[in-house]
A and B are shown apart, each in its own frame.
Chain A
Amino acid sequence: MAAEKGEKGAAAKEVAGERMVTLESSDGEEFHMSEAAAQLSTLLRHVIEGGGIDNGIPLPKVAARTLEKVIMYCEKHAKAAAKSDSDPSAAAGSSSDNTAAASEDLEKWDRKLVNGLSQDALFDLIVAADYLVIDGLLDATCRKVADMMKGKTPDEIRKIFNILNDFTKEEEEEMRREYAWAFDD
């Protein structure tokens, strides 16, 4: 099977010896991603295995700016996995320190990624990670939301996430009484 480089070339091209896939965001933008990175998404993995990627994979549920972040995450994690696989010292005894430091660095990178997002972008990324079934990314983004809620009062939570208080006055007072036990001292 010769690799045809026409206008509508096979989505699985080779770039510098790496197989790439083409993804199309909901707003029509095209992105390229290494196949290794795409494997991190269970959904994409199945699509690739099923062979239905000749003209690119449309992702009508994922906008361009979100897809960009998804690809960043997957490429980073795919590279990290490849590095640890090919690490020569993995055979030697010193591997545990290296892998611990490497996974810590990766965690820091993940935190930096989610910390730099606006709230809207964060929730978009959660939905995308869920849709594409990328567990690590879903965990990292959901963790961030949980961290944002930690220690906050109900008023603060409503303010931060723009959540409407849809209790009636009586209901809210009942809620407060019901949960007062947790705050008594």
Chain B
Amino acid sequence: MSASDLPDELWARVLELGAASSALGFRDLCCLAITSRRLHRLSLHSSLWSVLLSRDFPSQSQPSSSSSSSQQQQQVHPKSQYKTKFERHKVRMAEARRRVVFEAEARVLACRRRLAELEESMRAEGDRMKAAAQELDNLERVRRASVALNVWQPQVVRGRQKQLVQQCTVHVDSRLSDLNMELKVCKQQIATSKNIYNKEKQKLSEYEETLERAKYHPLRNSHTGAIAKEPHAKRKKLK
């Protein structure tokens, strides 16, 4: 069964449970209202908004006014009541929302910084590896030369090889083993860093997605971030 086939009463139950368990808040109901006609209708159920009203504005129970106005209160849809209270507390609500966006942005920035650091360290490791490989090459040449000196060589070649060996100031064999070890370590480091880098990259895309969600505004085009122009639309009353 697909979501569209689910009968209304069951969708209503989903929304009720969501509101009651705090899984769904006022913004979620608003997003649902924009999603499709059916969800719009379902999101308007008084009981949902009553739950949110009593949870988000608890101290603001029935105002102690005359009986006539409290009678009026009962006839006002909880969603409108919610909106009224919301606008009265706009500052507080707006601050809360800005905090969420700020935290989401901070996470994205921290992630990007970590990625840059990882890139840098992988680059440095790569350089070290290149240097080690180069030295290894040179030492190999020296070793081959010293081995070759044990057999007869034409004088020209012999002279060159002797020069190579004499110019080398390090103990060839032990340096060779050190370098091989270093190459191994470099490779491992790069592999590990790459692994972490990929995981971090995945986290970054999740954080960026969360940030986009936090910044959602129905009148703002999600791609450009600009506020959509007010259209000359026919005002239709939706049932």
Interface residues of A, Cβ cutoff 8 Å to B: 119-120, 123-124, 126-127, 130, 138-139, 142-143, 145-147, 149-158, 161-167, 170-185
Contacts and interface: CB of A to CB of B under 8 A. Distances in A.
B35 interface: yes
A119 B14 CA distance: 14
B1 A143 contact: no
B217 A167 contact: no
Interface residues of B, number: 53
Interface string B18-51: 1001011011101111111111100000000000
Nearest to A127: B1
Interface stretch (B58-66, B133-141, B188-196, B229-237): B229-237
A173 B233 contact: yes
B39 A182 contact: no
Contacts of B86: 181-182
Contact of B3 (A161, A173, A177): A161
B1 A145 contact: no
Nearest to A164: B36
Contact of B35 (A119, A150, A158): A158
B188 to A, nearest CB: 36
A148 to B, nearest CB: 9
B34 A143 contact: no
Contact of B90 (A163, A174, A179, A184): A184
B6 interface: yes
The 7 closest A-B pairs by CB, nearest first: A146-B18, A176-B218, A161-B3, A123-B1, A170-B233, A179-B30, A154-B34
